[in-house]
Amino acid sequence: MTTAQTTRSKAELKELAEQAGRDLEDATPLEILTWAAETFGPRFCVTSSMEDAVVAHLASRALPGVDVVFLDTGYHFPETLGTADAVGAVMDVNLITLTPVQSVAEQDAQYGPKLHDRDPDLCCALRKVKPLEQGLGSYDAWATGLRRDESPTRANTPVVGWDEKRQKVKIAPIARWTQEDVDAYVAEHGVLTNPLLDDGYPSIGCAPCTFRVAEGEDARSGRWAGRAKTECGLHG
């Protein structure tokens, strides 16, 4: 039996995550993802917002056919849905699309229209946090594209850590990368990116809550602009 096939307790997973966070702090993203692939095998997935396919591309090199989980909130830009389709069609990954329990119309009927304007925390909980929690159920470890340089709230992101809320290993293989590192990887490998990145949106989420950012402004300042909210709850 390989290591990846063994069943580990939550305590073992937590210890594994904390040790790997220390051991892999200076490792490259591909080394971190190779460790994840060897350690967790099919119990490992990548989540992608479809801003770009950098982590999905890296993960597919470490684990061809890797599960890439995309959360279709029902509020995405057409460009984001198009990027997801392209990733599923051309990359060596298994694209898994998660959807909320309620359609936007059903949510509007129960909570009233434009919940995102009146109570974005509840909207994110219904359309992002809950579906992801259910979708990640069968995995021991998940990887994200979080980077330390994106915002002060992400400055201490470990490359491998313990996701207390979901009781899973959380991997941020490009945590130490800068935007320049990402751009260089995209150029070198011809990685798919969301066309909105070239249209004034350096950070892309749901259409009602994502706005263009002026050149030189903080990349995430266009997310929930004008509100105190800075994160959707997936990474809190």
Binding site for ligand SF4 (CB under 6 A): 73, 75, 116, 120, 123-124, 127-128, 205-206, 208-209, 232
Residue whose C-alpha is closest to residue 180's, from 188, 171, 172:
188
- Minimum distance, C-beta of residue 132 to ligand SF4, in the bound complex (Å): 11
Convert 136-149 to b/e letters by CB count within 10 Å (16 or more is b): beebbbbbbbbbbb
232 is catalytic: yes
Would the CA dihedral through 80, 73, 149, 118 be positive or negative?
positive
Is residue 194 within 8 Å of residue 79, measured between CB atoms? Answer: yes
- In angstroms, the CA 80 to CA 102 distance is 20
Separation CA 63–CA 55 (nearest Å): 12
Minimal CB distance residue for ligand SF4: 206
The catalytically annotated residue of 33, 50, 58, 232 is 232
Q: Which residues are annotated as a binding site?
A: 123-124, 206, 209
Nearer to ligand SF4, 94 or 102 (CB): 102
Is the separation of the CB atoms in 80 and 194 below 8 Å?
yes
Say if CB 153 and CB 43 are below 8 A apart. Answer: no
Closer to ligand SF4 by Cβ: residue 116 or 220: 116
Indicate the residue among 27 and 104 with the shorter CB distance to ligand SF4. 104
Output the known binding site for [4Fe-4S] cluster.
123-124, 206, 209
Nearer Cβ to ligand SF4, position 193 or 210?
210
Q: How many angstroms from the chain centroid is the CA of residue 201?
A: 17
Catalytically active residues are 232
